[in-house]
Amino acid sequence: MSRRYFGTDGVRGLVGRPPLEPLFVTRLGRAAAGVLKAAPGRSPRVLLGRDTRASGDLFAAALSAGLAAGGAMVLDLGVVPTPALALLVRLLGADAGFVVSASHNPYDHNGIKCLGPGGTKLDDERELAIERRLSRPGPMATAAAVGRIRAEELLIERYLDHLRNCLPPDFSLSGWHLAVDTAHGASYALVPAFLRSLGARVTALGDRPDGCNINDGCGVLHPQAVREAVRTSGADLGVTFDGDGDRVHFVTAAGTVVDGDAILYLLATDASERGALGPGPVVGTVMSNLGLEEALTGRGIRFLRSAVGDRYVLEALLREGGTLGGENSGHVLLLEDSPSGDGLLVALRLLEILHRRGRSLDDLLSDLRRYPQRLVNVPLPPLSREELVPVLGDLERRLHDGAQGRVLLRLSGTEPLVRVMVEGRTAEWVETTAERARAILSELSSSPPGASPT
C-alpha cells in the first residue's frame, strides 16, 4: 500500500487545507488509537505535546478527542520539545507519543509527528495500518471505555533529570556566556532556563513566541540572527535550535556556523579518542559532505550513508549496531542517551567536550576540510510523484560530473519542494551547476504538463 498522508516525518501540510483540518486530525487520532497495542484490559496510554504555532491548540484538541474516542488515555504535556516527549515515552513505558509540530517549517504549516513505544518514529507497518483505518476508524468507545485526557506538564522534570544524569557530576557552565536562539518554538522557556541552572550566562533570542513567529528569521534556518547576537554581546558561543527542538547548530566566537556535519565530526572523533565510540559505524546521509566522510575514514572511523531523514539514519544505526549518526541539518542521534535527535542534549555534549578539552570550537574543527556545497529549494513542478521521479533521476545524471562533483535531486518529505544538493571540488562548478538545476526545474514548473526538461 502506498502512503497517502504519512511522509518522512508524520503528516504535514498547510493549516486549513487537506489534510490539516480538525476533522481529519480527529479521525487520525481515532484510527491511531485503534492500531495501538496495549495489555489486555488496559487502554493504550499516549503522550501528547505541541510547539508554539497558533494552530497547535486546535490540532492538539482535535487529536486528543480522536485518541480518547478510540479509547486511549492521553497525557497532555503542553508545549514541549519533540525530543523531550520522545524520551518520556521511553521512560514512562507509554504506548505511543504524538507531537503537533511542523518542526522547521513556517507557522502556517503544521503536522502530527508519531512516535512508537520506546520513543522512536512509528514504524512503516503501523503508519500504513493507521492509513488503512482512516476511512473506517471503527466504532467510538462507549461509557467507561472512553479515554481520558489529563494535563501532565510537570512530567518535563523527568526529562531534565535525565539530561543532568547524562553529564559528569561536576559539570558546570559557570563562566560561559551563551547566545541562545530557540526560534520562538517549543524550547523557548526550557532551554535558557536549564542552561542558566548549570551556571551559564544566557543571552536569549527567539524566546517570545506569538503563534506566528516560529522559525521566522531565526533558528537553525537563519543562523545570522545568533551570529549577530554573538558579535554584539561578546558571547563565547551561539546555539540555535529549530521550532520543535530536535535540531541544533552553533556559531563560534569567530562567526563560523557549525552545522550537523561538523557536530558529527567532533562527537565522533572525541568518542573515538576516548575509546567510547563502539564497534558500529557513524551514520550520515547522502547529503553529508564528502569532507566529513574523508575526515572520519582517515581516522579509522567507519562511515555509512543512509537516505535523507532521521528515521533512515536510525534504521541504519540499529541495523549496523551504531550509536552516533545524523544529518547536516543539525539532527543528530545519540542513541546511548536518547531515542531521537535532541538539540539540547547535543548542545550539552558539545559544551562538555569544550569544557573538558579546554580548546575553542574553531580549533577542534580545524582538521575538517569541507568540499564546496550548495543547497537549493525549487517549488515542486506540476507533475505527479510518479512523473517526477524519473524526470529528476534523468536530470541528476545529466548534471552529475564524477570528475568535478555530484548532484542529488530529491522530493522533500515535508514541503512541496525539490531539494537540490550540489557538491564539488570547486566553488565555481558548484554554483554554475546549482543554477543550471534551478533554471531547468523552474522552466519545468512553467511548462505544459508532461513536458520534459531541456
Considering 103, 187, 329, 340, which one is annotated as catalytic?
A: 103
- Cα 323 from chain centroid (whole Å): 17
Q: Give pLDDT, residue 357.
A: 94
The band of 450, judged by pLDDT with boundaries at 50, 70 and 90, is low
Residue of 316, 420, 324 whose CA lies nearest to 378: 420
Higher pLDDT, 413 or 63: 63
User: Average pLDDT in the 200-206 region?
Assistant: 98
User: Average pLDDT in the 202-216 region?
Assistant: 98
Residue 335: CA count within 13 A, CB half-sphere: 24
The 8-class DSSP code of residue 174 comes to T
State the Cα angle at 83 between 130 and 44, rounded to 5°. Answer: 40
pLDDT > 80? residue 138: no
When the pLDDT of each residue in the chain is averaged and rounded to a whole number, the result is 93
The strand ranges marked E within 85-221 are 96-100, 109-115, 149-151, 177-181, 201-205
- Check: CB of residue 227 under 8 Å from CB of residue 257: yes
Q: Give pLDDT, residue 429.
A: 95
The 8-class DSSP code of residue 105 comes to S
- Tell me whether residue 2 is one of the annotated catalytic residues: no
Q: Give pLDDT, residue 58.
A: 98
User: Average pLDDT in the 169-184 region?
Assistant: 97
Domains (range + CATH), the chain: 6-155 (3.40.120.10), 177-255 (3.40.120.10), 259-344+354-364 (3.40.120.10), 373-446 (3.30.310.50)
pLDDT > 60? residue 449: no
The band of 140, judged by pLDDT with boundaries at 50, 70 and 90, is confident
pLDDT digits (tens, 9 = 90+) for 298-314: 999 999 999 998 999 99
Higher pLDDT, 446 or 290: 290
pLDDT digits (tens, 9 = 90+) for 21-45: 999 999 999 999 999 977 777 889 9
- Cα-Cα-Cα-Cα torsion 360, 259, 55, 43, nearest 10 degrees, comes to -90
Identity of residue 331 = H
- Cα 254 from chain centroid (whole Å): 27
pLDDT > 90? residue 447: no
User: Average pLDDT in the 55-75 region?
Assistant: 97
pLDDT digits (tens, 9 = 90+) for 401-416: 888 999 999 888 777 8
pLDDT > 90? residue 387: no
pLDDT > 70? residue 253: yes
The mean-pLDDT minimum among 59-73, 326-340, 380-394 falls in 380-394
Q: Are strands 373-379 and 417-424 parallel, antiparallel or unpaired?
A: antiparallel
Distance CA 213, CA 1 (A): 38
Cell of 4: 497517502
Distance CA 61, CA 45 (A): 16
Q: Is the peptide bond before 139 cis (omega within 30 degrees of 0)?
A: no
Place of cell 543532568: 164
User: Average pLDDT in the 125-147 region?
Assistant: 88
pLDDT > 90? residue 112: yes
User: Average pLDDT in the 84-88 region?
Assistant: 98
pLDDT > 70? residue 448: no
The mean-pLDDT minimum among 135-144, 202-211, 245-254, 394-403 falls in 135-144
- Residue 171 to residues 21, 62, 266, 380, Cα–Cα distance (Å): 46, 42, 19, 48
pLDDT > 80? residue 333: yes
- Check: CB of residue 423 under 8 Å from CB of residue 290: yes
Buried b (16+ CB within 10 A) or exposed e, 311-338: bbbbbbbeebebbbbbbbbbbbbbbebb
Q: Which residues are within 8 A (CB) of 304 and not within 5 positions of it... i.e. 6 or more apart? A: 281, 282, 283, 284, 316, 320, 322
Stated pTM of the model: 0.92
The band of 338, judged by pLDDT with boundaries at 50, 70 and 90, is very high
Q: Give pLDDT, residue 166.
A: 96
The band of 452, judged by pLDDT with boundaries at 50, 70 and 90, is low
